[in-house]
Amino acid sequence: MKRKLVKIGNSLAVTLPRDMVKELGLEPGMEVDATVDPRDGSFVVRAGVKHFEEGKATPRYKKMVDQLIRERRKLYDRLS
């Protein structure tokens, strides 16, 4: 997917399409991880997921795990 760079102050930003934002559960002000892969120079942005707060799994992490289990239930049942 091609996107245009947008100038914001002295920085450049990449906008994300609405469907991608919704799919990743992104919200304004969230922190994301941005890196450059040294092998091929690709720019990678990952939604940051805080797994634990105060020794307990965060609600967002629990939701992600529950969704993964639902999506792969048949596979897990076959493996058990």
pLDDT tens per residue, range 7-66: 999 999 999 999 989 988 888 988 888 889 889 999 888 876 667 778 888 888 888 899
Q: How far is Cα 38 from Cα 19, in angstroms, rounded to an integer?
A: 29
Tokens of 33: 């991880």
Judge if pTM exceeds 0.75.
no
Local confidence band at 70 (pLDDT 50, 70, 90 cut-offs): very high
Protein fold of 1-48: Pemi-like Protein 1; Chain: D (2.10.260)
> What residue spans define the domains of the chain?
1-48, 49-80
- What is the H or E stretch that residue 57 is in? strand 56-57
